[in-house]
Structure 1
């Protein structure tokens, strides 16, 4: 009789559930980590599976040297520690989304006046020859670190796009040309230590407006979170890994087969955090539309065609 629920409740504190009735805790969910040095078929399946489920994943053995990643993270951290006099020429809170090279705080997101716990250095970084003249001269290590990082990082993104094309039935070069031919915009984000992280955010929940993003998380401080199944997954920094996520233009081009997923940045009470995101974008005049190969009977277009310039003007972050 003691195993009856009524007996257990009668002999137990009415405000708690007896131990044997407690459900086991749900196992923690983490983003997949994909080794790009594996066989092509295996890697393609892993990328497509992770992309469909999470819209985010981490990659290792991607071809960007660990030293290059470390030096860029260090140089970006040094930039944010420079005296204000060395950064004032870059400072702007303009909401002109076509002005790339600038330093600002918070976010360009239209958020009803809400501010967020972030500094951001935004730079056009590719093609290197045409964008390098606009890069900051201080600290001295920043320009060579940017130059060493941006070309191989873009190559990682382009190879992942080719793998996705193979997996969903698009021509392997579908994302070549105008769909990926715009400037690569780099955001160096710094989230200072915050006295009360529970009352603010580094960045609000948002999706990226570009094609695909390659993110570097230097150090060990966790702050990026990805929306998943009604909650948030912490994206733990992994040495030598890059974080990959899909932007709105990839969602449009694949007619929603691959989605751009909301993510946010949280603050930390103890230490600051720096991250570096490279955004691969279409050209401004590129008209992005669902790929005809993914349309057909029972598969109507879910998105209208739109020039990337117009999308940028209407979606500010």
Structure 2
């Protein structure tokens, strides 16, 4: 199996820019995932983010998770559990409005560090969207404009920990799925592995690397690129030893953003994906996260056609 794509983003500024852009293009077209080094976030900041998140887990969440496991009798499971994930998580909203001040149990240092982290990740996400535009032959800023809607993009972070699991053969850390949104930026544990993606029918490990940011593409970029880029099934395998940290930030379209294949990509090919409002896709996705993405696209297509067929609604 070919090597998982690892890209040094600092090489965009020198003679290797063209080769680096080609690596990003290949990763988007053939993997749906890639790992970034020298991405602009300082190592000091990332080390601090890791420290405060691991401290918060041990202080506030570890015991709750153990109590949940005990209450459900999961340690004694004898058959595969298909409707539960072996993870301890909470969600922080950044855009359009932050909710970090409302989340209980967070220390002031945590709030301050995560605000700085989110600000830097937002810049990186927007840079990546412009790099994707360049590779796709779209005008600069096209993807950011599509994502903006009327109130700006939705941006938030799922803070996750995957504790040691006594039955990793029976319980997934996180079941296989594609991500619904736009572009996902993951800061993961560099010591405890577990993230895998499906490529050519085989599950491939996403390598833990110190100070890297893992990027993957969501369903909306598959639609906008008319299938040129694809969102990819991925999962987390629970481990017997070690707690894996996973800080996944989702830079998604605004709720009222209208998503459809970019017209510039349809000049030489047929339109393969429907047009829809992002919020409608999310409503459909929530209950079907761990099912195939194709029926979700079909449902949006049916919604699009029913809207067209209804025509203008009479007010008389």
Partner of residue 52, structure 1:
29
Partner of residue 207, structure 2:
236
Matches of 2:98 and 2:213, distance apart in 1: 26
The answer for unaligned runs of 5 or more in structure 2 is: 66-80, 290-316
TM-score by length of 2: 0.79
Partner of residue 97, structure 1:
none
The answer for unaligned runs of 5 or more in structure 1 is: 1-27, 89-111
1:122 paired with 2:91, answer yes
Partner of residue 174, structure 2:
203
Specify whether residues 315 and 248 from structure 1 end up closer, same or farther in structure 2 by C-alpha distance, changes over 3 A only: same
Partner of residue 8, structure 2:
35
Specify whether residues 86 and 304 from structure 1 end up closer, same or farther in structure 2 by C-alpha distance, changes over 3 A only: same
Partner of residue 222, structure 1:
193
Specify whether residues 85 and 57 from structure 1 end up closer, same or farther in structure 2 by C-alpha distance, changes over 3 A only: closer
Specify whether residues 113 and 268 from structure 1 end up closer, same or farther in structure 2 by C-alpha distance, changes over 3 A only: closer
Matches of 2:60 and 2:2, distance apart in 1: 41
**Which one has the largest radius of gyration?**
1
Measured against aligned partners, the alpha-carbon deviations of 1:202-245 in whole angstroms (never above 9, x if no partner) come to 11110111110000013311110011111111111111110000
* 8 Å contact kept, 2:158–2:247: yes
Measured against aligned partners, the alpha-carbon deviations of 1:281-309 in whole angstroms (never above 9, x if no partner) come to 11100110000000034x11111111110
Matches of 2:103 and 2:116, distance apart in 1: 14
1:309 paired with 2:309, answer no
Single out whichever of 274-283 and 141-150 deviates more from structure 2. Answer: 141-150
* 8 Å contact kept, 1:29–1:233: no
Matches of 1:270 and 1:84, distance apart in 2: 18
- Higher normalized helix content (fraction of residues): 2
Matches of 1:78 and 1:244, distance apart in 2: 25
Matches of 1:63 and 1:133, distance apart in 2: 26
Measured against aligned partners, the alpha-carbon deviations of 1:247-304 in whole angstroms (never above 9, x if no partner) come to 011111110101101100010001111110000011100110000000034x111111
Single out whichever of 255-264 and 44-53 deviates more from structure 2. Answer: 44-53
* 8 Å contact kept, 2:61–2:88: no
Single out whichever of 204-213 and 132-141 deviates more from structure 2. Answer: 132-141
Matches of 2:63 and 2:241, distance apart in 1: 26
Matches of 1:83 and 1:47, distance apart in 2: 39
1:140-159 to 2 correspondences below 5 Å: 140-159=108-127
Partner of residue 12, structure 1:
none
Partner of residue 162, structure 1:
130
Matches of 1:29 and 1:296, distance apart in 2: 33
Q: CA RMSD in A?
A: 2.3
Question: SS of 1:141's equivalent?
Answer: helix
Q: 2:221 aligns with which of 243, 250, 255?
A: 250
Give the superposition deviation at 1:86.
Answer: 11
Question: SS of 1:309's equivalent?
Answer: helix
Specify whether residues 86 and 224 from structure 1 end up closer, same or farther in structure 2 by C-alpha distance, changes over 3 A only: closer
Partner of residue 314, structure 2:
none
1:77 paired with 2:54, answer yes
* 8 Å contact kept, 1:70–1:218: no
How many residue pairs align between the two structures?
266
Matches of 1:134 and 1:254, distance apart in 2: 37
Matches of 2:224 and 2:139, distance apart in 1: 13
